[in-house]
Chains A and B, each alone.
Chain A
C-alpha cells in the first residue's frame, strides 16, 4: 500500500514492489505531432477498445472529443490565432464587416484560453499567416500520486512494477469512485449496452500497454507514431531528453515551449506521461495546476479521527456524567 499521498517519490517501490524496474512513461512532444491519430487507432487495435460513436463534433478535426472509457489516446486539435493579431487586423480588413455582421465581439482580449467562439470567428483573411493549428495526443498521466488508485475500494486499480496505474477489468465492480478522483478527467466507466458492449459499466483507461511493456515491447501508440511525437522509455531518461528539447527550442526562439507534468514537486508528484506544450495547458484542455484529489486525505482522516475521538470522549463523558 502507498505510504504517501503527496510529494516526490518513486511509486513502484512505494507500493511495495521490490527490485522494481526503472519507472516507465511517455514523453509526448506535441510540437512534432502531425495529428494523424495513428496513436488512437493503434491503441484501440491493441487493446480491443470499441469505437466511441460516429459523431461529427465540429471541434476542428477532433471527433473523439476527450479521453474516456473508449478513447485512451485522444488527439486534440486547436485552431488558434494570436490575440495581438486579432486586434491589429480589426478595422483595416475589408472583410471584417462580414465578421461584425455575425455579431462577434472583436474587442475581446484573447487570454490564450480555449475559444468559445466558433472556430475562425475571431480572425480575418489577412492575418492567416500567424494562424496556428496545434495538435496534441493526450493520454492517462500515470500520476505519481494517483487519486483513482487511492479511492478504488476493490483493488481493481493497482500500481504496476513499472510505476504505472492499471485497472483490472475483471475485478472492477463499476462503483465509479475513481471517476471524480482523477484530477485530469481521464478515467471513466464505459457506456454501452449490457451484455453487448465489452466491459460495459467498467472503469477503463490507458494501461500504458502493461501487457506489451511486460514483454519488452513499446506501447502501441508510441510504436505507431510516425514522427516520434510519442516517446516511450525510462522516465528519468525521458525527462532528461525533454529538458534538452525545450532548451533547444528556446534557443531557436520558440519561447512558448514548456513541459507539463514532469515536475515531481507538483500537485500529483509529477506524472509518468508528461508533455511538451506550445501554449498554456488550458489551451489544450489540461488543468494548469492539477492536485491529487486525495492529497488532503491523511489530514482529513486525522481530523476525522480527532472528531471521532472528540465524539467518543463526549459520549463517554455523557455516560460518565449521567451514571447516576
Chain B
C-alpha cells in the first residue's frame, strides 16, 4: 500500500500512531513492510491456504462473533443434500463437466431450492458473459427468500458445519507446507486478527491486484469475506475488505462500466439468446420471489434507457431496449486481442491504456495490433502502443516488419487530470469532484471532448440511415451544453443526467433525490441508478469538501452511505454492538434508524419486524436482515450460486507453479480460462514432465516512482530518474545458486519469451521453505517497455506471462507464475527466438502443456 498508494498510506501511518497493529502479508519486503509491525513473506499464489487456515483457527478456537454470525450470515442456513465438497472428489466440487470445463452449480443450492442459479442460463453462458461482474453491485439471485435454518448451527447441513468440514485440512502446518510461512508467524497473525475483532474492536483487510490477478482471484476475496463475516467485521466502522485500485476511478469504471458485459449500475449487458426481449431481460435480472432491493431492477433499467434515448424511449418500444447491441459470448479484453490476431477485429480504441507494456502476454498484444486496420491512441505521450509498428521488440527479432504492418495509428494528445474536470470514484465508492487547474494547451483535449464529438459526428453521419443497427445512435440524446468559454462539454450536465430526473408529474424537470424515486413506467430517467442522489436538490454533492467531516466530503454511492450494510453495526435488537463501535442504531422514540452514517436499511422498519409469509422484495427483509442487496438478506459464508468455480474457496496452485498441490490431486482451478495456441504456450507445472526447467516463482508489481506501464512516469524526467532501469529483485541465496551479481544482468525465461533486467540482490526477498524444498521467488516491476520515446526504456515483465484467466471475471493470472533465471543479458535479434525455442524443446512444451483443466489422477 505504501508502494502504490503512498497518499492513502498516510492514514495507515496515522492509525499506527494511534496504536493500530499493521500486518503485511506479501512475497516481498516492501516499503509497506518497512512500517508494518509484522511482515509475513508468503509464496505468491498460495493465499487461500493462509486464509483457509485462519478460518479454521477462528472456528476451532471459537473466535467467531456468534450472535453476529447466527443473525447476520447464512451460517445457519441448510445446504442441499446433493452438495459434495472438494474432499470427496480430490479437488472438485459436485457438478463438474469436463467437456465444458464448467460446473453445473445446481447441487450447491440451499436445501429446498432446486437450483439457486439462474435456471434459464447455463453456467457456460454465464461464464461467457462474465456474469460475475454484476455482483459488484448486489448478491446473486436465489430461487426464493425462503430458506431452512438451524440456529444452533449443529445440523450437519448448515453452512457452518459445511465450512468446518471444508477447512478441516487447512492447518498451520499446511500453511508452512504450501505458503512457506512458519506456524509461529501464522499464529501471530491469527491471534492479532481475532483478538482485534468482536464487539469492541474491528479489523480491516486491504488488498489489491496481488489478490485479484490470479486464476482463482475472486476466491481470494471470498476467503477474506468469510473471515470478516465470522469475526463480525462487515458493516461496522473500521471493518470491511478494502480493494485498493490501480488507477484513479477504477471503481468508477465498473460502476459506469468500460466492461463489455455490464451496463451502468451492474445491470447485465444483454446477451443474444438469453435476453431477446425486454421482459426476458428483466426477468433474468431480478427475481421477484427473493428478498431485497434488487427486485426493483426494472425501474433502474427503464430509467437508464430514458436517460439514453429520452423521448424516443416509450413503453410501446420497450424503452428502446431492442436498440441495444447484444453480446454473443466472451468479448473480454484478452478474447478481443486474440480475435484481433485472427483478423476478426478491425479497429481498436486505447484511451489511457498501454497494452504493449501493461497487459499480460505483451507479444500477443503487439502482434494483434499489427493486424488492425486502424488504432486510436489517446494518451499524454507517444506510448509504446502507439509506436509498436516501428520499435516493438518483435521488429528486432524479425517477427514484425514495419513495411508489412498495415495498421493506421491515430494519435490524439490527451489532456492531463489537471486540465479537465469531472469526478473520480474511489474505492469507498466515493465520488469526488476534480476541478480543472488550467486549460489544456495545444491539441490536448479531454476524453469528454473526444467522446462527445465522436458521438456528434457519428450522429450526423448516420442521420439518414435506415439500418436498424443505427437506431440506437439516432435515438441517443446527445445535447450536452458546452462549458462557458470552452469547447468542453459540461461534466456537471452529465453528472445531472446520471443522477436522473423526474420526467412527468408535479416534480417534472426536478432532479431525483435518489434511486428510490426511480420508476419502471418511464416517468423517471437516470444514467446509473447507484449514483442517483449525487446531484439531489441540484447540488453537486461530489464537490463537497469540508475537511475532517466525512459526511461533508464528496458523496458515496448508494445514497451517500459511507459504510455499506451498516445495519450490521447494531445488534439484532437495533442497539450498537458497543459504544466504541456505534455507527447506526434504532431510535425507539423517533421510530427510525439514526446514527453517524446514512442507515443502509429501510428507515422506519423496526428491528423486530418480521415479514408476512410469501412477501418478496424489500418487504421480505426482516428487521434484522442487514445485507439488503443479498437475495436472503444475509452475508454469505457459503455462496450457493453466483460463482462459477465453487461455493467456498479451495486452494489451487497457479496455472504455472513449480509446486504440486498439497491438498488435492486437482492441481489448478478446473474452471479457469485457458487458450491453447502456439502464441500462448505454458510452462509445465509440478507433476508434468519438464517442470524442472522452470523452477522459480516470479511475481510482478509496481514501484512508487512509476505508474503502471509507464505512460505517465517514464516520460517525466523527475520520475524516470528515480527508477531508471528494469530490475529483478532476488535473494542472496538465489543469487548464489544462479551466479547472479548485484547490478549485473539477468535473463528471465518463460515459454513465451526471455527478458533481461539488472539484478538487485536484497534481503527483502526471502527464500521460502515449501515442504522439503526451498522455493525462490523473483520480484519484477513491470513499468518499462521497449520503445524509442521515453526517457527510460527496458524489457517488460508482462511479456513473460501466459494468458490464463479467472472464470468469474476474466482477470489474467499475472501475480504468480514460474520461470528460469540465468546470469547475463538475453540474446538479441532472431537469436532470442532460438533461445526461447531451446527452452521449449527442453521442457517438451506443446499447446497442451499446462492447459489440462482436469489433473486428478482418477477422473
Assembled-state Cα–Cα distance A129/B766 (Å): 10
Chain B CB count within 10 A is highest, among A40, A95, A120, for A120
Shortest beta-carbon contacts, A-B, top 10: A51-B717, A120-B763, A36-B6, A54-B724, A98-B736, A133-B34, A58-B743, A56-B725, A120-B732, A34-B2
Assembled-state Cα–Cα distance A220/B751 (Å): 47
A102 at the interface (CB under 8 A from B): yes
Interface of A is mostly: loop
* A40 near B718: Cβ-Cβ < 8 Å: yes
* A125 near B9: Cβ-Cβ < 8 Å: no
Contacting A35 at CB < 8 Å: which of B34, B733, B736?
A: B34
List 29 interface pairs A-B (beta carbons < 8 Å), by A numbering. Answer: A34-B2, A34-B13, A34-B31, A35-B34, A37-B704, A51-B721, A54-B791, A56-B724, A56-B758, A58-B742, A61-B31, A63-B724, A64-B721, A64-B722, A95-B774, A99-B736, A102-B736, A118-B732, A118-B761, A119-B762, A120-B731, A120-B761, A120-B763, A124-B733, A129-B39, A129-B185, A133-B29, A226-B6, A227-B13
* Complex interface residues of chain A between 64 and 123 (CB less than 8 A to chain B): 64, 79, 81, 95, 98-99, 101-102, 118-121, 123
A128 at the interface (CB under 8 A from B): yes
* B721 near A34: Cβ-Cβ < 8 Å: no
A52 at the interface (CB under 8 A from B): yes
A135 at the interface (CB under 8 A from B): yes
* Complex interface residues of chain B between 725 and 760 (CB less than 8 A to chain A): 725, 727, 731-733, 735-737, 742-743, 758, 760
- Whether A41 touches B719, Cβ cut-off 8 Å, given contacts A56-B758, A60-B762, A226-B6, is yes
Assembled-state Cα–Cα distance A52/B743 (Å): 19
Q: Mark B181-194, 1 if CB is under 8 A from A, else 0.
A: 00001000000000
Assembled-state Cα–Cα distance A41/B720 (Å): 11
* A63 near B7: Cβ-Cβ < 8 Å: no
A216 at the interface (CB under 8 A from B): no
B33 at the interface (CB under 8 A from A): yes
Name the distance in Å between B530's Cβ and chain A's nearest Cβ: 30
Name the distance in Å between B419's Cβ and chain A's nearest Cβ: 16
Contacting A63 at CB < 8 Å: which of B9, B721, B767?
A: B721
Contacting A36 at CB < 8 Å: which of B2, B764, B774?
A: B2
A3 at the interface (CB under 8 A from B): no
Assembled-state Cα–Cα distance A123/B761 (Å): 12
A53 at the interface (CB under 8 A from B): yes
Contacts of A18 in B (CB 8 A): none
B723 at the interface (CB under 8 A from A): yes
Contacts of B544 in A (CB 8 A): none
Contacts of A63 in B (CB 8 A): 721-724
Name the distance in Å between A224's Cβ and chain B's nearest Cβ: 10
B35 at the interface (CB under 8 A from A): yes
A302 at the interface (CB under 8 A from B): no
* Complex interface residues of chain B between 779 and 798 (CB less than 8 A to chain A): 791-792
Interface size on B, residues (CB 8 A): 49
Assembled-state Cα–Cα distance A101/B732 (Å): 11
Contacts of B732 in A (CB 8 A): 98-99, 102, 118, 120-121, 123
B41 at the interface (CB under 8 A from A): yes
* A131 near B29: Cβ-Cβ < 8 Å: yes
Chain B residue at minimum C-beta to C-beta distance from A51: B717
Chain B residue at minimum C-beta to C-beta distance from A75: B722
Name the distance in Å between B40's Cβ and chain A's nearest Cβ: 9
B705 at the interface (CB under 8 A from A): yes
Contacts between chains A and B (CB distance < 8 A), count:
136
A211 at the interface (CB under 8 A from B): no
* B31 near A36: Cβ-Cβ < 8 Å: yes
Q: Mark B489-512, 1 if CB is under 8 A from A, else 0.
A: 000000000000000000000000
B602 at the interface (CB under 8 A from A): no
User: Residues on B close to A: CB < 8 A?
Assistant: 2, 6-7, 9-10, 13, 17, 29, 31, 33-35, 39, 41, 185, 703-705, 717-725, 727, 731-733, 735-737, 742-743, 758, 760-768, 774, 791-792
Contacts of B724 in A (CB 8 A): 54-56, 63
* A37 near B29: Cβ-Cβ < 8 Å: no
* B767 near A95: Cβ-Cβ < 8 Å: yes
Assembled-state Cα–Cα distance A121/B731 (Å): 9
Assembled-state Cα–Cα distance A44/B705 (Å): 14
A50 at the interface (CB under 8 A from B): yes
Chain A residue at minimum C-beta to C-beta distance from B725: A56
Name the distance in Å between A61's Cβ and chain B's nearest Cβ: 7
* B718 near A51: Cβ-Cβ < 8 Å: yes
Chain B residue at minimum C-beta to C-beta distance from A248: B17
* B10 near A226: Cβ-Cβ < 8 Å: yes
Assembled-state Cα–Cα distance A118/B492 (Å): 56
* A119 near B705: Cβ-Cβ < 8 Å: no
Assembled-state Cα–Cα distance A40/B723 (Å): 13
Chain B residue at minimum C-beta to C-beta distance from A37: B722
* B722 near A45: Cβ-Cβ < 8 Å: no
A32 at the interface (CB under 8 A from B): yes
Contacting B31 at CB < 8 Å: which of A35, A64, A102?
A: A35
Chain B residue at minimum C-beta to C-beta distance from A81: B763
Contacts of A123 in B (CB 8 A): 732, 763
Contacts of A283 in B (CB 8 A): none
* A120 near B2: Cβ-Cβ < 8 Å: no
* Complex interface residues of chain A between 119 and 145 (CB less than 8 A to chain B): 119-121, 123-125, 128-129, 131-135
Contacts of A95 in B (CB 8 A): 733, 767, 774
Contacting A120 at CB < 8 Å: which of B705, B723, B762?
A: B762
* B29 near A54: Cβ-Cβ < 8 Å: no
* A99 near B733: Cβ-Cβ < 8 Å: yes
Chain A CB count within 10 A is highest, among B35, B760, B762, B764, for B762
Contacting B763 at CB < 8 Å: which of A58, A128, A134?
A: A128
Name the distance in Å between A125's Cβ and chain B's nearest Cβ: 5
Contacts of A120 in B (CB 8 A): 731-732, 761-765
A38 at the interface (CB under 8 A from B): yes
Chain B CB count within 10 A is highest, among A34, A37, A64, for A34
Contacts of A129 in B (CB 8 A): 39, 185
* B717 near A50: Cβ-Cβ < 8 Å: yes
Contacts of B774 in A (CB 8 A): 95, 125
* B718 near A53: Cβ-Cβ < 8 Å: no
Contacting B731 at CB < 8 Å: which of A44, A56, A125?
A: A125
Name the distance in Å between A149's Cβ and chain B's nearest Cβ: 28
- Whether A226 touches B762, Cβ cut-off 8 Å, given contacts A37-B722, A58-B743, A133-B31, is no
Assembled-state Cα–Cα distance A121/B720 (Å): 28
Contacts of A101 in B (CB 8 A): 736
Assembled-state Cα–Cα distance A40/B722 (Å): 9
